[in-house]
Chains A and B, each alone.
Chain A
């Protein structure tokens, strides 16, 4: 399967713990996005990488959130000191072509539950 993969698919943690999610994009895609989706809402943009450079971050991404894409391939999203409000589906997407005019392909998501 050559689609976008995410790991883990589910994560349950206690408030105050740190969690890290991984995304492996489609191999030839140079752009990678993280989104967050809560119940009844569409995906909300968190951050964007072009190759290894993080070019944009949403104001939704507080100081407790950090994302990396060290070699321009896979990416990690870490949440420190988790809060109950962080409970959501975290989606990763990748694309190639002109930014803003391309098709983003999504992974299956990581569902986070903070107790």
Chain B
């Protein structure tokens, strides 16, 4: 039973445009969410996080939006750069949990 879902396995955008990656979750107990970026042959690298007490968190070109009622979060990258091409995973947990649940990833390709 997958509690975190990324329904788009891939996304292609033009350099300079906005990339929007989506993630849905089913467990209403989740209250902490993260996005990771993964290049081939490397481990996931932390990108940005958000707590359920917020609905938006921004870090440079990266913004994460959380819609608790819809159990949905999204990652916006503006402007997209070719170096952003990677697989992006969303992950969710709760302060009472000892683990994170990951989505299956979205492969982003930013074309020059």
Q: Point out the residue from A41, A99, A107, A109 that lies within 8 Å of B104, measured CB to CB.
A: A41
- The chain B residue with its CB closest to the CB of A42 is B102
The reply to whether B99 and A48 contact each other, CB–CB distance below 8 Å, is yes
The reply to whether B98 and A109 contact each other, CB–CB distance below 8 Å, is no
Interface string of B69-88 (1 = CB under 8 A from A): 00000000000000000000
Grouping DSSP codes into helix (H, G, I), strand (E, B) and loop, the B interface class, with mixed when no group exceeds half, is loop
The reply to whether B104 and A56 contact each other, CB–CB distance below 8 Å, is no
The reply to whether B100 and A104 contact each other, CB–CB distance below 8 Å, is yes
For residue B102, which residues in chain A have a CB less than 8 angstroms away from its CB?
35, 42-44
For residue A77, which residues in chain B have a CB less than 8 angstroms away from its CB?
none
Query: Is A85 an interface position by the 8 A CB rule?
Result: no
Interface string of B29-70 (1 = CB under 8 A from A): 001101010000111111001010000000000000000000
Q: Point out the residue from A43, A105, A107, A108 that lies within 8 Å of B41, measured CB to CB.
A: A108
User: How many B residues touch A, CB cutoff 8 Å?
Assistant: 30
Given known contacts A45-B101, A108-B41, A99 and B89 CB-to-CB distance under 8 angstroms: no
Chain A residues 1-50 with CB under 8 Å of chain B are 4, 6, 33, 35, 40-45, 48
Query: Is B19 an interface position by the 8 A CB rule?
Result: no
Q: Point out the residue from A40, A45, A98, A109 that lies within 8 Å of B99, measured CB to CB.
A: A45
Given known contacts A41-B104, A100-B32, A103-B34, A4 and B43 CB-to-CB distance under 8 angstroms: yes
- The chain A residue with its CB closest to the CB of B101 is A45
Interface string of A81-115 (1 = CB under 8 A from B): 00000000001010000111101111111000000
Shortest C-beta distance, B94 to chain A (Å), equals: 5
User: How many A residues touch B, CB cutoff 8 Å?
Assistant: 27
Shortest C-beta distance, A25 to chain B (Å), equals: 12
- The chain B residue with its CB closest to the CB of A49 is B98
**Interface-central residue, B4, B9, B97, by most chain A CB under 10 Å:** B97
Binding site for A on B (CB under 8 A): 4, 6, 9, 31-32, 34, 36, 41-46, 49, 51, 89, 91, 93-105
Binding site for B on A (CB under 8 A): 4, 6, 33, 35, 40-45, 48, 55-56, 58, 91, 93, 98-101, 103-109
